[in-house]
Chains A and B, each alone.
Chain A
């Protein structure tokens, strides 16, 4: 493996493609935005996704999942990216469930995973504290008071935070400033006293809450993984998150590109289709090349994660950097090539462009990942 899909994977992709086209087209996303929907995603569509097994792709069969693993999830996310389908796939399945699968004890897994697979629980990772992804720079503290931890701090950009049933909170129990050690993950219920969740809306019309902790008491049973070694779970979870977002962006980019090429064939100026002008045709051909490279990178990164290869971190950074860059290029060019139409709210390209920027900033932008890639490679 595996830069070519197996039959089973192709079937899953086709199922997902059809599902999102029919049940979660861009028009649905517009409606959620225009009606200022309180949830930010369509709960009944999410339930259908769970019924199809999408919510359980990262969860083993013993907990009600389908166990398709990273490649399966990547294929679903790619198709979701094509229609801008809003759902807790990223927050709950890609990141939340993965963290519980990796770090949870039997009790935690039995408690949480079946509910995720059934589409009944939304999880949210409370990690970021500043404008830039910086996973070890954690100021939120958790103090041990004989078996109970007391959390204080402020988290931003918590995806789906306003509707989350549980948070996975990254807090500092030791070390200082930007130390990798001394981080601990806590599972915190949404209703816990002292926890304040404020919904914010991002430019992509999705939700990312601010979550504040004021002496929030969390029993030590709710520690995910071991105290002080949270980064051992956080790192692979984030890498999968990065690869998953790259897969979503691959879908987004492919969709914008295809629509743009169609427009180049249909729109006439100077008596001919604008796609006959080489100034546009060559740029389109260059984008095609970049997207082909993107596809190879995403597929390889997904199989690196599935096979637990030792280059997962490098592939995650490569995929996230490349897809963030190419998503910017293709959405910018897609808009430009639509002329005045591209500037209108009525045309989808603007929606894709906004989503591309938020996805690029999630779990580290291209600059972050180039620097990380170089550091991992030893230069």
Chain B
């Protein structure tokens, strides 16, 4: 307990000295710190912040120090997160490497692969993207067909991925490939591919929000060194599933309501008073007030459930059945939150451009549209419900 307090004190002092002023303000989308070989630093303090945090391993606080991580315990990490939140610090590094690939590599990669890739992820030197989905393999991911042939001293990869988020900015792609066509799940392997080595082409797809955050990714006669296979040949499905678990945890966090748009409002309730008006201290629209209360109650119940799951894990009861609902429930909550923002701000939330809208207001419709993908990416709501029905409830669905 005392050691933890000392840690908190030291952390607080270090953050005070090292977190630049602009980093303690809300982050505009175009200042997101993704790092990579060709990083865009609109705000130079973003880079400074990333480098300082990375030097302590705090871009990946719980990873072992041997791989560049911070080596923090869960408790210390919690303290760090609390202290970061206390000063409203922006993330130092946003990274699929940290959120998804790293944990999988820590569990399944060999020592050489860990030493090669993990430190570069921590330092934000390499930006990764996820090559799972294909035109014919979405929810039924194990139906993927991207072909990977053993050519003796290397692998040869041919096929197409789709919905690859930020593939056009990424340096490397972690891919699921087919190495055995006679089996479904047992014919899949997990491969790391350097996208600069030729044969990889990306074409951005425009989303309903107007942004182009994902791509079609074409792989044509791509040569991949044999050392880039993670785990055993044809055993990639296990790794794929473990990684999906991390991805879903990351997406579930959205249910806690700290997503970007609308976050500059003190609270949804205050925003409702501002836009709709108040009578005797109550939001003037009884219907909206009720919707907000349902949302707030469900949000609190969800946060408590995530906390309970954490406490259960800490008490050694394992992650518990409750964790299976997080992706589904968190994303549905997040979608509802944006629908509420539209209701609150009325036509001021429906503007697309022009001076009669604040920057905050203009971000609402875009974020609202983007949120619709939450219940699709990383496994759809329906697929999540199938998993709960089958695995948790033991219902005999196909």
Contact = CB atoms under 8 A, between A and B. Distances in A.
A276 B390 CA distance: 9
Given A265-B396, A293-B302, A379 B388 contact: no
Interface in A285-343: 285-286, 288-289, 292-297, 299-300, 318, 321-322
A292 B319 CA distance: 13
Contacts of A175: none
Contacts of B211: none
Contact of A297 (B278, B283, B301, B311): B301
Contact of A275 (B305, B317, B392, B396): B396
Nearest to A321: B297
A371 B390 CA distance: 38
A284 B293 contact: no
B34 interface: no
A322 to B, nearest CB: 6
A178 to B, nearest CB: 14
A275 B389 CA distance: 9
Contact of A261 (B322, B328, B395): B395
A374 B289 contact: yes
Interface in A236-291: 261, 264-265, 272-273, 275-278, 281-282, 284-286, 288-289
Contact of B389 (A272, A285, A296, A378): A285
A265 B390 CA distance: 11
Contacts of A374: 269, 282-283, 289-290, 292-293
Contacts of A264: 395
Dominant secondary structure at the A interface: helix
Given A3-B308, A318-B297, A377-B269, 19 more contacts: A265-B396, A273-B396, A275-B395, A278-B397, A281-B385, A281-B386, A281-B393, A281-B395, A282-B386, A285-B388, A285-B389, A285-B392, A288-B321, A289-B329, A296-B301, A296-B308, A371-B293, A374-B283, A379-B272
A370 B393 contact: no
7 contacts: A275-B397, A281-B389, A285-B386, A295-B305, A295-B308, A373-B296, A375-B282
A293 B282 contact: no
Contacts, number: 128
Given A284-B389, A321-B297, A292 B307 contact: no
Nearest to B322: A292
Interface of B: 269-270, 272-273, 278, 281-283, 289-290, 292-294, 296-298, 300-302, 304-305, 307-308, 311-312, 315, 317, 321-322, 325, 328-329, 382, 385-386, 388-390, 392-398
Given A264-B395, A296-B304, A370 B297 contact: yes
Contact of A370 (B290, B315, B394, B398): B290
A131 interface: no
A314 B368 CA distance: 29
A4 B293 CA distance: 27
The residue among A281, A296, A318 with the most chain B CB atoms within 10 A of its own CB is: A296
A288 B324 CA distance: 10
A163 B307 CA distance: 43
Nearest to A272: B396
A379 B389 contact: no
B297 A276 contact: no
A289 B325 contact: yes
A239 to B, nearest CB: 16
A276 B389 CA distance: 9
Contacts of B296: 373, 377
Contacts of A288: 321, 325, 388, 392-393
A282 B328 CA distance: 12
Contacts of A370: 290, 293-294, 297
A21 to B, nearest CB: 22
B282 to A, nearest CB: 6
Contact of A293 (B301, B311, B393): B301
A143 B329 CA distance: 54
B304 A300 contact: yes
Contacts of B269: 374, 377-379
Interface string A350-379: 000000000000000000001101110111
A212 to B, nearest CB: 36
A294 B301 CA distance: 7
Contact of B304 (A3, A277, A282, A284): A3
Ranked nearest first, the 8 interchain pairs of A and B with the lowest CB-CB distance are: A3-B308, A285-B388, A281-B389, A296-B304, A289-B325, A379-B269, A293-B301, A275-B395
A70 B292 CA distance: 29
Contact of A379 (B289, B301, B302, B321): B289
Contacts of B293: 370-371, 373-374
B397 A261 contact: no
B303 to A, nearest CB: 9
A379 to B, nearest CB: 4
Contacts of A273: 395-396
Nearest to B304: A296
A285 B393 contact: yes
A4 B311 CA distance: 7
Given A282-B382, A374-B289, A379-B292, A318 B395 contact: no
B301 A322 contact: yes
Contacts of A272: 396
Contacts of A322: 297, 301
Contacts of B300: 297, 318
Contacts of B311: 2-4
Contact of B396 (A276, A295, A321, A375): A276
Given A281-B389, A375-B282, A276 B298 contact: no
A293 B305 contact: yes
Contacts of A297: 300-301, 304
Contacts of A284: 389, 393, 395
B297 A282 contact: no
Contacts of B273: 379
A379 B307 contact: no
A299 B309 CA distance: 13
A379 B283 contact: yes
A299 B301 CA distance: 11
A261 B307 contact: no
Nearest to A260: B393
B271 to A, nearest CB: 10
